[in-house]
Amino acid sequence: MASSPTKYASTIAELKALSGIIQASLHTIETVLQDQKIDFPSPHTPFTLESEAARMIPQVAIAFSSIVSASMQLVYSVQSPMTTMLSVPFQYVMSACLGLAALSNASEACREAGAQGAHIDDIAHSSGTDPSKLARALRVLATNHIFVEVSPDVFANNRLSSCLDTGKSISEIMSNPQHKHVGTFGVAAGVGHCADEGMKAMAYLQDALLDPMLGFSEEPNGTAFNMAFNTKLPMFEWFEQKGNEGRLLRFAITMEAAKRTRKYQAILEGFDWEGLPMNSIVVDVGGGIGSESLTLAKHHPHLQFVVQDREQVVNQAKSYWSEAFPDALASGRITLEAHDFFAQQPAREVGVFILRNILHDWSDKYCLNILKNLRSIATPHTRLIIIDSLMNYACIDPKLVSIPGAQRNTPPEPLLPNGGCASALKYFVDIQMLSLFNGKERTTRQFQELMRAAGWRLSEIHETGIGSASTQKAIGVPM
């Protein structure tokens, strides 16, 4: 049966609307960059933080998101449904090839060869890989605009593949491969983690969710990860087992790299730190080595800080603070405290609790435990700051949470209300949290319900930055 003219016309109108969004966004980018006399980075130049200045401009970042969302929506609209539905399941091939490229030091080999590129024999030699097999993997990536095949079996870096480059020489990496990612930006470490523990766990996701026991588990050792690696240990404990030292180090560097994707010093925004009374205590719960507390301590000398984490991490934190801010340690402004956040908090009058990227690692059952322990020593003046991704539905939510900051600007139609593919990364992370920990990213409403059950009231939300550089702070007060 032939399609109706009306339906055909509305489809074409939608495609034109998507094209119009792209054109308008490009005009915005061009105008803003001309006004500020900033060049847009070429896809053929190496990645540096400094060259990303254009993407840090708010109007440009919004325009970029619109272009990504509209472009991908156009692809899915015009491409054959059968082609799409056969291509999407093959995305694991990209993950595998990208992981192989990182492990085989391909980007470093290309950088050492220069603009003319490196022959696959030379690239493969640096890692003892079969050249013909590695070439096929790099060709998959080059076909998707990661690396460039400049001539048959000769590959060179472009902007995307240069993100894998640790900046180290091949000889340095080969002499100490376990420390390959130490002192680097961390993108290659993140790729390695996702293509190893992440992808292997994801392969068992359907088995885990359809299992009558694991499918309903809230336990951190009842996950797809546990099936994939045949262990009864939660992932964090598994990392600490003998033989996993390299994976643990790579994961720690990955977490530091993730922080760098957010707006610089975003912790300073969205809360009145200056308004806290003199000597107020800020407790950074599960704060790692305390990099966020360090930023706060340098900008707000009237505050005191307690950074809590596992004993092994606290030992690392001592070295970090001794080098970065020794006066804070010597004066007692900073206390580094070994503490399990599932245990009762030490008795003290706390001005602010910070939970940064903690709750998404845990199911509701465990989050309630964490939040109740904080609530048990909170005073009426204590504030709780939860820094996590806030998820949006892929449709209009008719029951928006009516608290300050909860409303979000929706993209122009026909883009999806949550930004579509431009915001896909945090939805990928959500499923990775599920497969690795039984954790999850949460919507505003889910945070509100979780906090209420633990004796906290969600009072306001603040967002700083745009897109992947954005940070959401949920502010809680005792009920």
Q: What is the pLDDT of residues 191-234, one digit of tens each?
A: 999 999 999 999 999 999 999 999 999 999 999 999 999 999 99
Mean pLDDT throughout 132-161?
98
C-alpha pair distances (Å), 357 with each of 304, 361, 440, 471: 21, 8, 11, 10
List active site positions: 360
pLDDT of residue 410: 86
Q: Which of 222, 243, 260 is the last residue of a domain?
A: 260
311 has a pLDDT exceeding 80 = yes
Task: List, in order, residues 6 or more apart from 89 with CB less than 8 Å away.
Answer: none
Q: Tell me if 356 is assigned to some domain.
A: yes
How would residue 268 be classed by pLDDT, with cut points 50, 70 and 90? very high
Q: Where does a domain end: 220, 243, 260?
A: 260
Structure token digits, residue 259: 């922080």
pLDDT tens string 25-42: 999 999 999 999 999 999
In a domain, 339, yes or no: yes
Same domain, 296 and 368: yes
Average pLDDT over residues 341-356: 96
Assess whether 290 and 439 both reside in one domain. yes
Does 417 lie in the same domain as 336?
yes
Q: Is residue 150 part of a domain?
A: yes
- Model confidence at 148: pLDDT above 50: yes
In a domain, 142, yes or no: yes
Percent of the chain with pLDDT over 90: 80
CATH label of the domain that carries residue 361: 3.40.50.150
SS (H, E, C) the chain: CCCCHHHHHHHHHHHHHHHHHHHHHHHHHHHHHHHHCCCCCCCCCCCCCHHHHHHHCHHHHHHHHHHHHHHHHHHHHHCCHHHHHHHHHHHHHHHHHHHHHHHCCHHHHHHHHCCCCEEHHHHHHCCCCCHHHHHHHHHHHHHCCCCEEEECCEEECCHHHHCCCCCCCHHHHHHCHHHCCCCCCCHHHHHHHHHHHHHHHHCCHHHHHHCCCHHHCCCCCCCHHHHHHCCCCCHHHHHCCCCCHHHHHHHHHHHHHHHHCCCCCHHHCCCCCCCCCCCCEEEEECCCCCHHHHHHHHHCCCCEEEEEECHHHHHHHHHHHHHHCHHHHHHCCEEEEECCCCCCCCCCCCCEEEEECCHHHCCHHHHHHHHHHHHCCCCCCCEEEEECCEECCCCCCCCCCCCCCCCCCCCCCCCCCCCHHHHHHHHHHHHHHHHHHCCCCEEHHHHHHHHHHCCEEEEEEEEECCHHHCEEEEEEEEC
In a domain, 115, yes or no: yes
**pLDDT value of residue 428:** 95
Residue 153 covered by a domain: yes
Per the prediction, the chain carries an average pLDDT of 92
In DSSP terms, 463 is beta-bridged to: 472
Predicted local distance difference test score (pLDDT) of residue 3: 46
Same domain, 271 and 226: no
Q: What is the CATH number of the domain that holds 131?
A: 1.10.10.10
CA distances from 222 to 359, 361, 362, 438 (A): 17, 13, 12, 7
Of residues 60 and 56, more confidence is placed in 60
pTM attached to this predicted model: 0.91
Q: Residue 21 pLDDT more than 70?
A: yes
More confident of the two residues 7 and 220: 220
Same domain, yes or no: 315 and 451: yes
Average pLDDT over residues 54-72: 93
Range of the domain at 99: 88-180
Whether 314 is covered by a domain: the verdict is yes
Q: In total, how many domains does the chain have?
A: 4
Least confident of 8-17, 241-250, 299-308: 8-17
Contact (Cβ atoms closer than 8 angstroms) between residue 433 and residue 440: yes
State how far the Cα of 365 lies from the Cα of 385, in Å rounded to an integer: 19
Per the listing, tokens 């495609």 go with 15
Confidence of residue 1 (pLDDT cuts 50, 70, 90): very low
Question: Are the C-beta atoms of residues 32 and 58 closer than 8 Å to each other?
Answer: no
CA distances from 288 to 243, 294, 321 (A): 22, 11, 12
Predicted confidence (pLDDT) at residue 260 exceeds the cutoff of 90:
no
Decide the pairing of beta strands 281-285 and 304-309. parallel
Q: In this predicted structure, what is the pLDDT of residue 2?
A: 44
Regarding whether 136 and 16 lie in a shared domain, the answer is: no
Identify whether residues 144 and 201 lie together within a single domain: no
| Token reading at 219 | 């336990």
Contact of 406 with 400, CB cutoff 8 Å = yes
Q: Determine, yes or no, domain membership for 83.
A: no
Q: Which token pair is 322?
A: 């001794």
Per-residue model confidence (pLDDT) at position 466 = 63
The average pLDDT across 439-461 equals: 95
Question: Which one of 180, 202, 234 terminates a domain?
Answer: 180
Q: Is the confidence at residue 469, as pLDDT, over 90?
A: no
Residue range 441-451: average pLDDT? Answer: 94
Structure-token pair, residue 174: 């080969």
Asked if 319 and 445 sit in the same domain, the reply is: yes
**Do 242 and 290 fall into the same domain?**
no
Q: Phi and psi for 475 in degrees, rounded to 5?
A: -95, 125
Same domain, 24 and 96: no
CB atoms within 10 A of CB 18: 24
In this structure, the answer to whether residues 250 and 273 fall within a common structural domain is no
Residues 175 and 70 in one domain: no
Q: How confident is the model at residue 132 (pLDDT cuts 50, 70, 90)?
A: very high
